[in-house]
Structure 1
Amino acid sequence: MWYRYLVAGICCMASTAVNAESITLRILATSDVHGHFTGFNYFSQQPEAKGLAHTAVLIEQARASADISVLIENGDLIQGSPFTDYMVAAAKMQEQLPLASLLNSMGYDAVNLGNHEFNYGLEYLSRAYAGVSAPILSANLHSNSSFAKQHLRHKPYVIIPKTVTNSSVPNASSTNTINIGLVGVLPPQIMQWDTHHLTNHVSVEPMYDAARRAVKAARNDGADIVILVAHTGMPKHTSEGGDSEQGVWELAQIDGIDGIIFGHQHEVFPGTDVYDGLDQVDSKNGTVFGIPAVQPGVHGEHLGIINFVVNYSEQLKRWEVQSKSAKVERVTSSRDELLVNQLKPAHQATLAFMQQPIGHSQATLSQQLARIEPTLAMQLIHDAQLWYIDRYAQANAQSWTELPRLSAVAPFNAALSASDDFTSIEAGAVTLGDIGDLYRYPNTLDVVVVTGATLKAWFEDAASALQLGTTEDRWSWINTDVPSYQFDTFSGINYQIDPSQPIGKRVQTLPEIINEQKYAVVTNNYRANGGGDIAGLDGSQIIYSSPDQIQHILIEYLRSLGDEGYPATLHQNWKIDKN
C-alpha cells in the first residue's frame, strides 16, 4: 500500500548525486476538498465517486510510477460537508477529530491554508489540524496577537528533502536527494470574509509580495525545485490578469517558480477554457507563462499531477529540469478500502449527527427551480433572516432599524438543467442534515445599510445570472456562466426581471426603489464584506454583525414554529418577464 511512502528522505540539505541518470519527480495535489473524505453523499445517503477515499487510489498509482513524489493539499479542506459539520460539533464536545490520522495516513508532505479554513475561528483551525505531521503553509498570513500565535503554526515556505535509489544504473545503488521548496499563499480577502474571527489577531499582505519574498528565501535555503502552492485562481473570461483575490496570473511571473498548484475557483486546469482570454495561459497543456500548473477541481474528484524529469549536472553542481508537464486525472469508482475503514467511526458519527430532528415543514423544500422562480426553500431562509433581525430590532431600537428592510439570499444548490442534482427536503421532520443541505456554508448574518442607487445595482448584478430564454425550455433562462451563489434573490419587495434588457435596466420593483433613500438589507457576511464583487459592497456598509451562523438561525427559527412547522404558502414576490 501507499502508506510506505510516508517517510521523507533523511539527509543533509545539500543536493548530492553520483550519476547523471534522470529522475522522475511527481508533484501531486488536491485542493478544495471541502470535507469530502469518505466517498459518501450524506444528503442522498448513497456512495459517490468523489472524496479522498477515491483520490487515494490515484495517489497510489501516481506514486508507484515515479522515482520521487510530493503530495500537497491546497486548502479549503475543513469546511463544506456534513462530515466537517460533525467535526465542528465533536470539537465542542472535546472529542478527538479524525483529520490528523487521515492526512498522516495518506502521507501529505504539506498543507496550504485556504480561505474556508478560517470560517470557524483560529481555535478550531488549530484543533482540526492538531497532530498533522505535515507542515502548514501560508506566506502572506501573519499572526499578530498572542491568541493567533498560540493557535497558528504555519510557515511561509518549507523545503522537503526527497531521496531515491536509482536502481536503473548498472552496478550502482546511489542515493540522490532533491530539495523541493513549497511556498503557500491565500487570498487577503479572508480579513473581510471572516473579519469577526480575524480582526486584531492576524494580518494578510498581498500575495505577490509575500510569495516573491518566500520564493527567494526558499532558493537561498537550498531549494532545487520551487512549487507555488496558491489557494487562489485567475480572472475568468477576460484579458485582464491582475486581481487581488484571483492572483495566479501575476504570481506566475515571479522568478524562481518551477510549478504551480492553484485552486479556490473549483475549476479543472488544464482542461477548462475560462482562462483562455489571458495572455500566456495554455489551458490545453496546463501552463501559465510556461510554468506547469494544475487546479484539481473540487471535492476530491480530481488529482493534479505535475511531472518533472530532472538530471543532476556535475558541471553546474545543480539539478536541471529536462522536461515538465501538467495534467489532472479524474477519480473512478475505485476507492481505498483501508482508508474507508479508518474513517468508519467518524462516518457513523456523521450519520447519527445528521439525523437529529430540529423542526417540521408542511411542504417539500426544494431548490430545484430557485434559479428561475421563488421557492419555499429560499423563502424559508429569507423568513428566518428577517425573523432574526426583527427580534433584534425590537430589543435594540436604532436608527437603521426604522429603515425599509429587505433580505438577500442566493441558492447554493439549485438545478441548472433538468438532469442536475438539487436540494430537496421532504415535507415532515427537518433534521440537522437537512439544514446543512439547505444552507451549505457557515456564514454569519450581517445587515448592510445602502442607498437606493446601490440597492438597484445589487438587483441588476443579480439579474446577470439570467439570460433571454424560450417558453419551451425553462432552463434556457439561466446564464450558467454565473454560479448560483451569485444569484441573490430578495424578500421584502416585489420585482420582475426582464432578461431581454441590458444589465442596468432589467429589474422593475414595486414599490419603486428611490435612489436617495436608505435601505437595510439582511445578508450573509461573505456578501456584506465584498464577496462576489456585488454592487460595491466592501464591508464599510455593515451596520450590524450577528455572532450566529445562518445555519443556526435556521435551526432556531424552525424550533420557534413549534409543532405546526413551516407553512406551505409560497409568496410569489418576483418573476422573470417572459413576454
Structure 2
Amino acid sequence: MLFSFYPVRLAALSVSILLLVACAQQEAEQPVTMDLRLMQTTDVHAYVLGYDYFQQTETADYGLAHTAVLIGQARAESPNNLLVDNGDLIQGSAMGDWAASKGNEYLEQQVHPVMRALNYLQYDVANLGNHEFNFGLDFMLKTIAGADFPYISANVFYVENEAKSGKQTQGWDNPLVEPYVIQQHRFIASDGQEHELKVGFIGFLPPQIMQWDHQHLQGRVMVRDIVDSARHYIPLMQAEGADVVVAVPHSGLQTFDDYPLFAEQASLQLSQVEGIDAILFGHQHRLFPGDDAYQNLPGVNNSGGYIHGVPAVQPGYWGNHLGLIDLKLEQQGQGWQVVSSQVELRQISEAYDAELVNLLQKEQEATLQQLNTPMAEIDQDISNFFARVRPDRSIHLINQAQLWFAQKLQEQGELDAELPLLSAAAPFRNGFQGPADYTHIPAGSVTRGDLADLYVYPNTIQVVRLNGKQVRDWLEMSATAFAQVEAHADTAQSMLNPDFASYNFDMLSGVEYRIDISQPPRFDAQGRLLNERFQRITELTYNGREVSDSDQFLVVTNNYRAGGGGNFPHLDGSTLAHAADAEVRQVIADYMLQLSAENQHSVVLDTPDNWQVQLPQEARVFFRSAGTAAAEDAAAKEAKIDFVEFNEAGFGIFRLKQ
C-alpha cells in the first residue's frame, strides 16, 4: 500500500507543477493592450459661452464652456485621450461676428477669442469646416495661426492662377494646410508600461466651399473629392507608420445610387476606404448615433454608432454634446491594431467651466455692446412666424435692402441699368433649433443684434442675370417647400414639406405670383427635375404683365444661392452678373440707417402682398411654427391663420384658411 501511495502523490504533484507552469506561460503570452479615447466637438459656430445672443440670456442648452466640463470628466476617466475639433468653429455667434468685424489687423495683435478657448482646453488637432472661409481666406489663415495645435484638411489646395481653381480631379501639390498629421504619444498599456503610439488624423471639408465662398476663393484654391483624397493619402499614412488612422470629415451621411464626385455628404462612402479605424464627422448638426435621419441607411448601425463596421460619432452642434470613441488596441509586432471599440454621446448639463468664461469676458462685453447699439425705431413687430405660408415683413425688409443696394450699383454703372431688378431672400431661423428658434423683433428700438436675429449668416451680396423661364424655375424650386395637398380632404393635411429646409424657401420681390400646392412639385429637394409638365407657379407677372420666357432680369441674392447652394436650377455660378464684398447684414443695417435718417429715427415697415399660396377648395391644412405666446398672439391678428394647439415637442400648430 505504501509503495503504491507515493507514486500517485508524486504524479499529482507533477501535474500541479505542469499546470502552474502552463498558467504562467499563458499569462506571459497574454497580449499587451492599450485603451485610447477619442473626443470630438464639431459645429461649435463660435458659441464658446453658454449664452443666447438672440434673447441675451445665459443658457445651458449649448456652449463650449459647458462641453469643457464633459471634456475634463472624460479625460479623468481615460488618461490615454486625444481631443479633436471638426470645424465650423469661428462663424455663427455674435462673438464670432464681433471678432470678424475687427478685421485681419486684430488677429495680427492677438489670438482669435475662439482659438484662445481651444488652446485653453488643450485640443490636439482640428479640421477645417466650410464656414471657416466665410470671412475670407486671409482672416481664416490668421485665425488658425493662433492655434497651439495643427489644422488639417486633405482636399483643399493652393493654385497658381485663377484658371486652375475650382473643383479638380488632378493635383496634390501645395495643400492649404497639412492634409494629415501623425502624432506620436506615449500612453500607458495593460502591462503598466508606457508605449509609443502613432495616431494619424486626416481631415476633409465640403468641396462646395468653391460655390459658397466663391468670392473669397476663386483664383486662390482648388478642391478635390473627399473619397478620392482619402484613397490617396491613407496609404501614405500607413506607410509612415500610423498605428491608428482617424478620419475627420466635415461631411454628413447620404446615400447615392451612384456616388458623384465632389459630394457634400460623403462620410458613408468614406467609411469604405480601407485603413480607417474611426470616423469623427460633422456638418449636418445631428447626433450620431441616434438621429432618426440615419435610420435604415445601408451599412449604418444607428444604435451602436458604426458605419460599415467603422466606429463613428457626430456630436450635434454648438457644443451641446461631446462625442467619444473608445478604442482597444492590441500590440502586434512593433505596432498596434484596433481589436474593439465603443461609441458614446454625452449631453451637456448646467455645469460650466468658470475659468473659460472669465477668459473671454472682455470679448463678451464688447460683443454685447456692439449688439445693443440702437439703429432705428420700427412701428411694427418683425417676425417670421408665418413666413413659410404667406408674404412676410421680415423677408420683405431683406429684399428691400438688397434692391436698394442693387439700385445704387445700377446708378454707379456696375449693373445694367436697363434691366429690371428682382430680389430673393428666405427665412433662416425657422424652428431647426427648437420651438423658440424663430425671428421675433418687437416694435420699438432696433439694434444690430436684432439684425443678427433676422439674418444669421455672413453672406455677401451677389447678382445673377436670368431670363423669365429661369426665374420661373427658381420659384418652382422654392415651391418644393410645400407638400401636395388634396381637395375635399376629410382630415387636416400638413402643407409643408419636412425634407425642404426653410433657408431654401426663397421669396422674390419685384414680381407677383401664386403657388398652387394642389399640383405636384416640379423639382425634388435636391433640385432634380421630376417632370417637365409639373407646374405650381401660376400668374407670374412683372408690373402687371405676364413674364415671358425671354424676359431678362437681374436678381439680387446672396453668395450661397448664386453659387449653387440649395441646388437651384440655373444657379451654379455661371449666371453671375456681379459679386460684391458687402455683407447682407451690413446692407440691411445701412438701409435701416438711411430710412431712419430720412424719417426722424423712425422706420415705417411695408407689408408685402405679392404672392399667395393657392389651396384646393375645402382643403383643410395646417403647419408648424413657433411654440411661443408671441406667435399665438400674431395669429390672432391674422385673417387667414388660426392657432390650433402646441404639440408634444412644444411647437405651435396653426391652420391656414382659404
Q: For 1:560-579, what aligned pairs fall within 5 Å after superposition?
A: 560-561=594-595, 562=597, 563-578=600-615, 579=617
> Deviation of residue 23 (structure 1)?
2.1
> Which range moved further: 340-349 or 521-530?
340-349
Q: Is the CA contact 1:192–1:539 (under 8 Å) kept in the aligned structure 2?
A: yes
> Deviation of residue 36 (structure 1)?
0.7
Q: For 1:12-161, what aligned pairs fall within 5 Å after superposition?
A: 20-49=31-60, 50-91=62-103, 94=106, 96=110, 97-144=112-159, 154-161=177-184
CA distance in 2, matches of 1:484, 1:164: 48
Residue 577 of structure 2 corresponds to residue 558 of structure 1:
no
CA distance in 1, matches of 2:432, 2:415: 41
Q: Is the CA contact 1:239–1:278 (under 8 Å) kept in the aligned structure 2?
A: no
Q: Is the CA contact 2:462–2:562 (under 8 Å) kept in the aligned structure 1?
A: yes
Give, as a single letter, the amino acid of the residue that structure 1 aligns with 2:142: R
User: CA deviation digits over 1:77-131, x for unaligned, max 9?
Assistant: 0101101011112345636332332111111111101111111112211232232
Of 336, 347, 369, 1:330 maps to: 347
SS of structure 2 residue aligned to 1:464: helix
User: CA deviation digits over 1:279-312, x for unaligned, max 9?
Assistant: 2122222222111111222111121211211121
For 1:164, the equivalent position in structure 2 comes to 187
For 1:527, the equivalent position in structure 2 comes to 561
> Deviation of residue 429 (structure 1)?
2.3
CA distance in 2, matches of 1:362, 1:93: 39
Give, as a single letter, the amino acid of the residue that structure 2 aligns with 1:134: F
SS of structure 1 residue aligned to 2:399: helix
For 2:452, the equivalent position in structure 1 comes to 436
> Unaligned 5+ residue runs, structure 2?
1-28, 166-173, 523-534, 618-658
CA distance in 1, matches of 2:199, 2:234: 11
Q: Is the CA contact 1:467–1:477 (under 8 Å) kept in the aligned structure 2?
A: yes
Residue 516 of structure 2 corresponds to residue 498 of structure 1:
yes
User: CA deviation digits over 1:201-240, x for unaligned, max 9?
Assistant: 222122222222221111111110001111112226x666
Gap change, CA 1:240 and 1:234, over 3 Å in 2: farther
TM score, norm. by length of structure 1: 0.89
Q: Is the CA contact 2:376–2:601 (under 8 Å) kept in the aligned structure 1?
A: no
Q: Is the CA contact 1:367–1:415 (under 8 Å) kept in the aligned structure 2?
A: no
CA distance in 2, matches of 1:128, 1:233: 25
Q: For 1:125-524, what aligned pairs fall within 5 Å after superposition?
A: 125-144=140-159, 154-166=177-189, 169=191, 173-235=192-254, 242=260, 244-276=263-295, 278-313=297-332, 316-396=333-413, 399=416, 401-415=417-431, 419-468=435-484, 476-504=494-522, 505-511=535-541, 512-524=546-558
User: CA deviation digits over 1:156-206, x for unaligned, max 9?
Assistant: 10012222234x64xxx4102211100011122212211211122222122
SS of structure 2 residue aligned to 1:327: strand
For 1:4, the equivalent position in structure 2 comes to none
The answer to which structure, 1 or 2, has the higher relative contact order (CA under 8 A, 6+ apart) is 1
For 2:655, the equivalent position in structure 1 comes to none
CA distance in 2, matches of 1:523, 1:474: 35
> Deviation of residue 72 (structure 1)?
0.8
For 2:628, the equivalent position in structure 1 comes to none
> Deviation of residue 271 (structure 1)?
1.1
> Which range moved further: 519-528 or 316-325?
316-325
SS of structure 1 residue aligned to 2:292: coil
> Deviation of residue 408 (structure 1)?
0.8
> Deviation of residue 347 (structure 1)?
1.3
> Deviation of residue 564 (structure 1)?
4.7
SS of structure 1 residue aligned to 2:293: coil
SS of structure 1 residue aligned to 2:470: helix
Gap change, CA 1:397 and 1:44, over 3 Å in 2: closer
TM score, norm. by length of structure 2: 0.79
Runs of 4+ residues over 6 Å off in structure 1: 469-475
For 1:547, the equivalent position in structure 2 comes to 581
SS of structure 2 residue aligned to 1:385: helix
CA distance in 2, matches of 1:105, 1:397: 47
CA distance in 2, matches of 1:277, 1:524: 35
SS of structure 2 residue aligned to 1:372: coil
SS of structure 2 residue aligned to 1:402: coil
Gap change, CA 1:86 and 1:129, over 3 Å in 2: same
> Deviation of residue 423 (structure 1)?
1.3
CA distance in 2, matches of 1:398, 1:434: 30
> Deviation of residue 21 (structure 1)?
3.7
Gap change, CA 1:328 and 1:197, over 3 Å in 2: same
Q: Is the CA contact 1:454–1:535 (under 8 Å) kept in the aligned structure 2?
A: yes
> Which range moved further: 200-209 or 224-233?
200-209
CA distance in 2, matches of 1:177, 1:20: 16
Q: Is the CA contact 1:23–1:67 (under 8 Å) kept in the aligned structure 2?
A: no
CA distance in 2, matches of 1:410, 1:99: 29
Give, as a single letter, the amino acid of the residue that structure 1 aligns with 2:385: Q
Give, as a single letter, the amino acid of the residue that structure 2 aligns with 1:309: K
Q: Is the CA contact 1:269–1:295 (under 8 Å) kept in the aligned structure 2?
A: yes
Q: Is the CA contact 1:114–1:231 (under 8 Å) kept in the aligned structure 2?
A: yes
Q: Is the CA contact 1:371–1:415 (under 8 Å) kept in the aligned structure 2?
A: no
CA distance in 2, matches of 1:209, 1:396: 44
CA distance in 2, matches of 1:46, 1:295: 27
Q: Is the CA contact 2:153–2:179 (under 8 Å) kept in the aligned structure 1?
A: yes
> Deviation of residue 473 (structure 1)?
11
SS of structure 2 residue aligned to 1:325: strand
For 1:10, the equivalent position in structure 2 comes to none
CA distance in 1, matches of 2:363, 2:468: 49
Q: Is the CA contact 2:426–2:507 (under 8 Å) kept in the aligned structure 1?
A: yes
SS of structure 1 residue aligned to 2:154: coil
SS of structure 2 residue aligned to 1:322: strand
Identity %: 38
> Which range moved further: 36-45 or 494-503?
494-503
CA distance in 2, matches of 1:244, 1:52: 29
CA distance in 2, matches of 1:277, 1:507: 35
> Unaligned 5+ residue runs, structure 1?
1-17
SS of structure 2 residue aligned to 1:570: coil
CA distance in 1, matches of 2:178, 2:433: 44
> Deviation of residue 44 (structure 1)?
0.4
Q: Is the CA contact 2:80–2:188 (under 8 Å) kept in the aligned structure 1?
A: no
Q: Is the CA contact 1:368–1:415 (under 8 Å) kept in the aligned structure 2?
A: no
> Deviation of residue 418 (structure 1)?
9.9
> Which range moved further: 369-378 or 92-101?
92-101
